[in-house]
Structure formats: C-alpha cells, structure tokens
C-alpha cells in the first residue's frame, strides 16, 4: 500500500522543474490538446459513468403514478335553517394550502396505512431488502413509523391552479396498488372531514345536554323560590299575572262609581217626588203614574166619575146611589194618597240603602288600597325573583332550542369536500424514465471525463517529483508550512480553512480513501532526526482522520522522548504503554482520549532513561496487531531513524511510512541516511513530507 499524494501548499514548489502558471488565456485549442493527451482518462471516466448509470437504472424499481382529485365544496346544505356547529371550509388560497397540509399529514397517512394494512407490504416496510439481513428485527412501532415515512415519500398533493380542486398522486410498484392507495387517501380525507364535523357535533351535543340539565334545575329552583315567596306573603295573582288585590281594587272602584251614580239618581228622584208631594202634585209623580196599583185605582176612579156624572144627571146629587158613588170616590182618593206616600217612603229608603252601599264600598276600597300598598313593597323582591327566573328560563329555552337544532341537523351533515375524480390504474409507468436518463448520461459522462482531465492537468506537476539527492526515489507527499508553530495541531480544529489544516486534511483523506473498505491502515510516522516536526504531523493527521469519522489510535512509540502528550495538553498520565506491556494495567486504563477529538492516544507515562527492548518485544507486536484490528487508522510515532534503531524495527509492522523532514530536507544527508536505513529493513512504501 502507498500513501497518496497531497496538494502542495501555495508558494512551495516541489522541485525546480515545477511549471509555473502563466497569464496566457486557456483557449479551445488548449482544450483540444488536453483532451487528446487525456483521451484515455476521459473515455475511462465516461465509460464508468455510463456503466454506473445503466446499473442504477436497472436497479431502480419501476413506479406507477395514479391520481385522484378532491374538490372543496362551496355549496351548503340549506335543509336545516340552523347554523352548523363547524362553519364551512373557506375556499381562499391559504385554506386550500391548509387542506393540502392535512392531506400530507402523518395522522392521515397512518389512517390509510392501517386501513390498507401496508405495514405488512414489503414495498413499504423494507423487509426482504439487502440491508435487512444484517440488522436486528425492528419493533412494531419502528416498522409503523418506517412505513409512514415510505408512504409520505410516495405521496404528492398539489392544487389545481386557482380552483378548489386538489390532486392526490401516489407512486407504487404496481398500477393497481397506486390507484387503490390514491383513492384510499382521497376517501379517507373526505371521511375525516365528515368525522371532524360529527365529533364536533357530538361534543357540542354532550356539552349542551349537560348545560340544559343544569339550567333545568336552575329554572325549577327559581320558579320554586317565586312560588314559595308568594305563598309566604300571600301574593296571589290571577291567570293573566295580575295581582288579585289589584283586581279587587278595580272591581270595588267600578262598583263604587256605579253605587255613587245610583245614589245620586235616587237622591234626585226622591227630592223631586218629595217636592211634588209637598206641593200637592202627587198626580205628577212619575213613579206614582207608573205604579200598577195607582193605574188600577185611577181606572176605577174614572169609572166612578162616569157613574157619578150619569147618576147626577139622572137622579140628582142627593140620590143614595150618587152619595154611594161619592163615598167610593173618596175612598179611592185616600188609597191613591196612601200609595203615593208609600212610594215616597220607598224612594227615601232606597236613598238610604244606596248611601250605605257607597260607604261600604269606600271602606272596602280603602282596605284594598292599604293591602295593595303593603303588597307592592313585598313585590319588589318578588319582581327580582321573577326576573331571575325569567332570565334563567330564557337561557334554558335558548340552549334547549340549540340542542334540538343540532340533534336534528346531525343526521344531514355533509362533508366539505368530495371526490370528483377517482384514480384509475395507469397503463404506463411514470418513473424512472430510463431512456431519457440514459440519453442524458452520455453527454454528462463526457463532461465529467473532461472535468477529470482538467483536474489531472492541474495536479500533474505534483505527481512528477524528482530529486537529485541520495534520497531520490522518495515521493514528496506534501510540503507543509507552519509545523514549527506550537499550536499547529490545534489549527486543524480551530482554523479548518488555513493552508496547514487543508494540507493535513488532504493527507488524511488520501489515507482513508486509499484503504479498502472494512480494512484498517497502519502508518509509521518518523523523521531523520529530532525536532523535525513528526510529532506535530502525527497529532494533526490523527485529529483530521477523527473529524472524517474514522476510529484513530495514535501510538507514541518513542519511549525515550515521548512528545504526543504535551502537544495534546494531557498531563499526569497515571499509566501508559509500559504498564500495559508489563501487564500491570489494562488497555482501557492505558489508553487516553485526545481532549479535542475522538482520537485515542497511547504513550508512556514517563520517559525511559535506559534503552530497553520494549519496541522489539513480542508483546509490543501483539499490541500493534490488536490495535490494527480494532481501529480504522493506527498511527505509530517512531523515534528518529538516524538517532534510534526503533524506527527500522517498527517499519516492518506498518503499511506505509511517512518520513517528515525539515525543508529543504531532500538535500540533507540525514534524509538520505534515513532512506537507506529504511530500505535495508526492507520498509513498506515511504512518502516524504517536507515541513517548514
């Protein structure tokens, strides 16, 4: 395995033969020449893209799309005159969008999924797929949520222009299923609208029933309080609600007026009769004239007068018959006089009776008025009780009328939406459009090939590094400036756009991309001599790889002069590499975590003053083998190649070697000596990093 080449930092050419960019214009002729030089690369990239497109098109499932149309109703049911519990849906643009949100909601999707039992459909639950064989069986709740997510990803709801029609489209692998699900969504939506009205009506009915019962009890209590107060204070009323004492006053007042009129009439009659009687004109008294007895006496008197006249003419005034007639006539006059006297006395008695009656009625009226005044004071509270009872009764009647209206109207509730076009099974698939996509991939693949050729032209000078020193043959991985900075390793995290961070990130990406999937990579980081910056480069690469999501372990194998912990800021390590190898500590205790990343660090707790064979021991080799299996990237910081023999020993266990040298390090004898030392091992591929 070799370390891929990273981008050289600006201003740091790889060698004297590196071509500099000029200000000449890059024209079509240059593009043609570049395409001719890189035609193999262009054709390779184009072929790969076309092959990948064809493979993807073959793997993509065929989907059919079916559409149903729902319209929001603008007409209202006018059978019942009462207003509905829920008002009709408005048809403005915002309201239509609200209904679209309801159609694409998870709750409605869950109803359709449960109704059609899509949870057991492999097209939606993901069972039987390639990844499902490697994962644990999901819970029913997880499966249900997964089916809903898959369902919503296939559902498309759109508004038809300025109308209130909403198109519901669904994609499925079969035409019949697409049409069935689209119709189910539309019908479920319409049914849910109706259910919403029914639910609101039921809630309103229940609330009104409870309220009516409470108001009925309040009405009964208020009416009972009114009747109880009337009974306690003897406040009686007629059928029309008029108090009896008021009726009594009215009746007595009418009788009193009539009695006074009768009294006045009788007094006038008596006075006239009395004056005529005293004047000796009793015959002019109308009551006497109208009396049947006097009329009879007057008739007898007339007969006697006629007889008297006849006897006087025939016999003379001294005849006994004449005298007898005179006697009879005198008796009749006395009787008439007695009758007139009796009539006059009767009229006097009538006047007395009428006067007594008027006095009695006046007394009765006074008592009734006194009683009415007392009752009026009591009726103030009665009116308050009656007003309270009337108010409660009016509220009760209003609620009762509304309850009856809702109960009558619930049977004729209609949904505010209806399906105007059911989905039909499509005859042709809607996606993917394989012919169109494949045709579009042809020019796109050529464009990607040309782009790859341009990138290759751009980085070509970097890949042609040559050297004339004894270290010739070592490829220059990168030239990195700023390694001498004490906070260089922190630049990867704090300033990711800096030149140093970008160079380190490119090295980490090239290492991870050149590693086969599922395999780990072991990189040895060393330098020809002390102070070349290998420790800073190792920590920086470890952090950059950790940012990329790799499991990274940095092993500081320079037991004589460890330098990783000071760079990361770790102090007072209780146990480390030597304790782990001697068996006094477990790996979990010896490993420390980088305070600023997820990388793991393994170093000695304190430097070793004497040389020992720790690096060459079998325990150390087993440790490296174990770490390389449990992580994605293992970075081993070795001692300097020239100063210590440990680097050559560790090189045998690595997949590649990064040799860090201070520039211009390619001309220094130490670099050549280090290359020769590693070449005798023999070492894996070596890449040179020029640090400054």
Per-residue pLDDT, averaged over 89-111, amounts to: 84
| Residue 463 clears pLDDT 70, i.e. is over it | no
What number of other Cβ atoms are within 10 A of residue 62's Cβ? 11
| Residue 552 clears pLDDT 90, i.e. is over it | yes
Mean pLDDT is highest, among 159-163, 214-218, 377-381, for 214-218
Say what the pLDDT of residue 465 is. 35
Give 527 or 137, the one with higher predicted confidence: 527
- Kindly indicate the confidence band of residue 234, based on its pLDDT and cuts at 50, 70 and 90: confident
Give 133 or 678, the one with higher predicted confidence: 678
Residue 311 CA to residue 313 CA, distance in Å, equals 5
Say what the pLDDT of residue 544 is. 92
- Kindly indicate the confidence band of residue 633, based on its pLDDT and cuts at 50, 70 and 90: very high
DSSP state, residue 600: E
Please give the share of the chain, as a percent, with pLDDT higher than 90. Answer: 10
Mean pLDDT is highest, among 122-131, 256-265, 369-378, for 256-265
Q: What is the phi-psi region of residue 241: left when phi exceeds 0, alpha when psi lies from -120 to 50, beta otherwise?
A: left
Q: What angle do CA 15, 18, 19 make, to 5 degrees?
A: 165
Q: Out of 146-155, 163-172, 305-314, 545-554, pick the least confident.
A: 305-314
Say what the pLDDT of residue 554 is. 92
| Residue 331 clears pLDDT 70, i.e. is over it | yes
- Kindly indicate the confidence band of residue 553, based on its pLDDT and cuts at 50, 70 and 90: very high
Say what the pLDDT of residue 89 is. 58
| Residue 338 clears pLDDT 50, i.e. is over it | yes
Give 608 or 604, the one with higher predicted confidence: 604
| Residue 507 clears pLDDT 70, i.e. is over it | yes
Contacts of 539 (CB under 8 A, 6+ apart): 489, 554, 564, 567, 568, 594
Residue 148 CA to residue 119 CA, distance in Å, equals 9
- Kindly indicate the confidence band of residue 18, based on its pLDDT and cuts at 50, 70 and 90: very low
Say what the pLDDT of residue 293 is. 66
Give 600 or 317, the one with higher predicted confidence: 600
Per-residue pLDDT, averaged over 298-309, amounts to: 74
Give 55 or 239, the one with higher predicted confidence: 55
Question: Could you tell me the residue ranges of all domains in the chain?
Answer: 34-60+432-458, 64-194+413-421, 244-409, 465-691
Reduced to 3 states (helix: H, G, I; strand: E, B; else coil), residue 621 is helix
Mean pLDDT, rounded, of the chain: 78
Per-residue pLDDT, averaged over 495-503, amounts to: 85
| Residue 600 clears pLDDT 90, i.e. is over it | yes
| Residue 469 clears pLDDT 50, i.e. is over it | no
In CATH terms, the superfamily for domain 465-691 is P-loop containing nucleotide triphosphate hydrolases (3.40.50.300)
Q: In Å, how far from its chain's centre is CA 585?
A: 56
> Encoding tokens for residue 460?
């070509």
| Residue 29 clears pLDDT 90, i.e. is over it | no
Residue 573 CA to residue 388 CA, distance in Å, equals 87
> Encoding tokens for residue 336?
């008439």
| Residue 677 clears pLDDT 80, i.e. is over it | yes
Say what the pLDDT of residue 52 is. 92
Mean pLDDT is highest, among 106-110, 310-314, 477-481, 577-581, for 106-110
> Encoding tokens for residue 65?
């799309």
Residue 544 CA to residue 594 CA, distance in Å, equals 12
The strand order across the sheet containing 656-662 reads: 476-480, 686-691, 656-662, 521-526, 633-637, 552-556, 600-602, 592-593
| Residue 612 clears pLDDT 70, i.e. is over it | no
- Kindly indicate the confidence band of residue 558, based on its pLDDT and cuts at 50, 70 and 90: confident
| Residue 541 clears pLDDT 90, i.e. is over it | yes
Residue 546 CA to residue 635 CA, distance in Å, equals 12
The angle that helices 28-37 and 39-59 make with each other, rounded to 10 degrees, is 80
**Residue range 32-88, pLDDT digits in tens:** 767 776 788 888 898 999 999 888 888 887 888 888 999 887 655 554 444 555 555
| Residue 194 clears pLDDT 60, i.e. is over it | yes
DSSP state, residue 6: P
pTM, two decimals, is 0.40
Per-residue pLDDT, averaged over 375-379, amounts to: 71
Please give the share of the chain, as a percent, with pLDDT higher than 70. Answer: 80
Per-residue pLDDT, averaged over 98-104, amounts to: 89
Smallest CA-to-CA distance from 417 within 116, 90, 157, 105 is with 90
Q: Out of 22-31, 660-669, 683-692, pick the least confident.
A: 22-31
Say what the pLDDT of residue 168 is. 92
Smallest CA-to-CA distance from 192 within 74, 112, 300, 310 is with 112
> Encoding tokens for residue 447?
């464009």
Q: Out of 368-372, 415-419, 505-509, pick the least confident.
A: 368-372
Residue 630 CA to residue 522 CA, distance in Å, equals 12
| Residue 466 clears pLDDT 80, i.e. is over it | no
Say what the pLDDT of residue 634 is. 92
């Amino acid at each position: 395995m070799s370390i891929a080449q990273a981008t050289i930092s600006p201003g740091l050419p790889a060698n004297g033969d590196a071509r500099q960019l000029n200000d000449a214009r890059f024209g079509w002729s240059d593009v043609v020449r570049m395409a001719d030089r890189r035609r193999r690369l262009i054709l390779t990239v184009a072929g790969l893209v076309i092959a990948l497109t064809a493979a993807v098109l073959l793997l993509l499932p065929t989907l059919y799309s079916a559409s149903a149309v729902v319209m929001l109703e603008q007409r209202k049911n006018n059978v019942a005159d009462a207003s509905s519990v829920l008002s009709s849906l408005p048809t403005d643009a915002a309201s239509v969008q609200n209904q679209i949100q309801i159609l694409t909601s998870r709750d409605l999707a869950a109803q359709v999924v449960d109704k059609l039992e899509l949870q057991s459909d492999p097209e939606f639950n993901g069972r039987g797929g390639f990844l499902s064989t490697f994962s644990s069986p999901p819970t029913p709740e997880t499966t249900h949520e997964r089916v809903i997510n898959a369902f919503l990803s296939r559902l498309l709801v759109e508004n038809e222009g300025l109308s209130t029609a909403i198109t519901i489209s669904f994609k499925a692998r079969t035409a019949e299923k697409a049409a069935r699900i689209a119709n189910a969504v539309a019908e479920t939506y319409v049914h849910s609208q109706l259910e919403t009205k029914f639910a609101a009506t039921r809630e309103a009915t229940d609330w009104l029933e409870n309220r009516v019962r409470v108001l009925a009890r309040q009405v009964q209590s208020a009416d009972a309080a009114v009747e109880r107060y009337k009974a306690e204070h003897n406040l009686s009323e007629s059928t029309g609600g008029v108090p009896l004492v008021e009726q009594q006053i009215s009746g007595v007042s009418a009788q009193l007026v009539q009695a006074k009129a009768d009294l006045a009439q009788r007094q006038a009659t008596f006075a006239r009769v009395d004056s005529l009687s005293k004047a000796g004109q009793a015959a002019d008294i109308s009551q006497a004239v109208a009396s049947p007895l006097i009329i009879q006496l007057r008739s007898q008197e007339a007969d006697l007068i006629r007889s008297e006249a006849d006897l006087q003419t025939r016999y003379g005034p001294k005849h006994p018959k004449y005298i007898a007639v005179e006697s009879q006539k005198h008796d009749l006059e006395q009787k008439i006089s007695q009758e007139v006297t009796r009539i006059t006395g009767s009229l006097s008695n009538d006047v007395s009776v009428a006067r007594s009656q008027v006095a009695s009625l006046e007394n009765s009226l006074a008592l009734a008025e006194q009683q009415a005044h007392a009752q009026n004071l009591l009726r103030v509270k009665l009116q308050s009780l009656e007003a309270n009872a009337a108010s409660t009764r009016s509220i009760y009647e209003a609620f009762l009328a509304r309850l009856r209206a809702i109960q009558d109207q619930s049977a004729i509730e209609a949904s505010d939406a209806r399906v105007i076009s059911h989905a039909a099974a499509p005859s042709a698939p809607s996606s993917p459009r394989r012919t169109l996509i494949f045709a579009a991939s042809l020019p796109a693949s050529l464009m990607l090939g040309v782009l790859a050729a341009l990138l290759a032209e751009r980085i070509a000078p970097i890949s042609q590094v040559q050297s004339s020193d004894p270290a010739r043959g070592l490829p220059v991985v990168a030239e990195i400036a700023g390694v001498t900075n004490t906070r260089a390793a922190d630049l990867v995290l704090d300033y990711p756009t800096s030149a140093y961070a970008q160079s380190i990130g490119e090295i980490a990406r090239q290492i991870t991309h050149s590693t086969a999937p599922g395999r780990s990579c072991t990189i040895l980081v060393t330098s020809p001599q002390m102070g070349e910056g290998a420790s800073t480069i190792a920590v920086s690469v470890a952090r950059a790889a950790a940012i990329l999501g790799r499991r990274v372990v940095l092993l500081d194998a320079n037991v004589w002069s460890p330098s990783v912990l000071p760079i990361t800021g770790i102090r007072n390590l209780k146990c480390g590499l030597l304790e782990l190898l001697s068996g006094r500590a477990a790996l979990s205790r010896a490993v420390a975590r980088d305070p600023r990343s997820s990388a793991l660090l393994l170093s000695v707790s304190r430097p070793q003053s004497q040389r020992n064979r720790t690096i060459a021991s079998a325990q150390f080799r087993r440790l490296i083998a174990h770490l390389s299996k449990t992580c994605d990237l293992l970075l081993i910081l070795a001692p300097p190649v020239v100063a210590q023999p440990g680097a050559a020993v560790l090189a045998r266990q690595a997949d590649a070697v990064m040799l860090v040298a201070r520039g211009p390090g390619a001309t220094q004898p130490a670099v050549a000596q280090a290359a020769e030392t590693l070449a005798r091992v023999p070492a894996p591929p070596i890449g040179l990093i020029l640090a400054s």
